[in-house]
Amino acid sequence: MLINLSEKNSIVQHFLAQIRDKEIQKDALRFRKNLFRIAQILAYEVSKQLNYETKTVTTPLANAEVNVINNQPIVCSILRAGLIMHEGFLDFFDQSDSAFVSAYRKHSAPGEFEIVVEYMASPNLQDKTVILIDPMLATGRSMYLAYQAICKHGVPAKVIIASLIASEQGLVYINRFMPKASIITAAVDKDLNENSYIVPGLGDAGDLAYGIKM
Ligand code: URA
C-alpha cells in the first residue's frame, strides 16, 4: 500500500515548497522545523493504520468510551537524516519505544557506493509494528538494509515505511524486496541522478538539517 500525501492538496504542500526551495532551505532551523511538521502529519496518517481497542475514561461528568492504540508502534529511524522526523513521530506516538540504525554511503568512485550499516540500538521487535523512517527514499537500498539489520532483534508483524520524498525507483525496489511493507510519503519524485540523489528532490537532507559532513 502506498499513501502519497501530495495526491491531495493540503498544508503539506506549503512545507514541501519551503523545504525544496534552494534559498529557503538554507535556513537550517526552518528546514528542521518543516521536516518535523511533515513528520507529525505523516504520524497522524500512520495512526490510521494501527489497531485500536476501546477504553473507558472517567471524565469529571461521566464515563466515556474512547478507542486507543492497543499496541504502540516502535519508531525506528535511519541515522542521521531520520532524527528530526523521529522526533516528529515521537511527538504523536509518545508512548512508543525507539530503534536507531546508521546507514551511510561509502563511495568507491564517483557515483559508486556501497551502503554500510554500522550501528544499531533496538528493543525487541518480534511481532511489533515498526515505523521505519528515512526522509529520502532514494534507491531503497538503505531502507532494506536497515530492515534486515533490525530483524536481528525480532521480526516485526507489520512494517510501515515513512519518508518525506520517495523516488519512483525506490518505491519499485521496496515493493520488490519488502512487499508486505506499506509506504507513506509526502511526495514521490520521478528521477535519481548519477549520484543516486532524488530529482528534483531537495538535496542532502542530513546536510541541510545538521551541516555538511566530511
Ligand atoms: N539522501 C538525501 O539526503 N538526498 C537524496 O536525494 C538521496 C539520499
pTM: 0.95
Cell of residue 172, nine digits: 519499485
Q: Which residues contact 175 (CB under 8 A, 6 or more apart)?
A: none
pLDDT digits 0-9 by tens, 151-166:
999 999 999 999 999 9
End-to-end CA distance of the chain: 37
The CA 169 to ligand 1 mean position distance, Å, reads 13
List the domains of the chain with CATH numbers: 2-52+69-210 (3.40.50.2020)
The CA 174 to ligand 1 mean position distance, Å, reads 16
Strand residue runs (E) in 80-143? 98-109, 112-121, 129-133, 136-137
User: Which of 195, 196, 198 should be mutated for ligand 1, with most atoms under 8 A from CB?
Assistant: 198
pLDDT digits 0-9 by tens, 178-212:
999 999 999 999 999 999 999 999 999 999 999 99
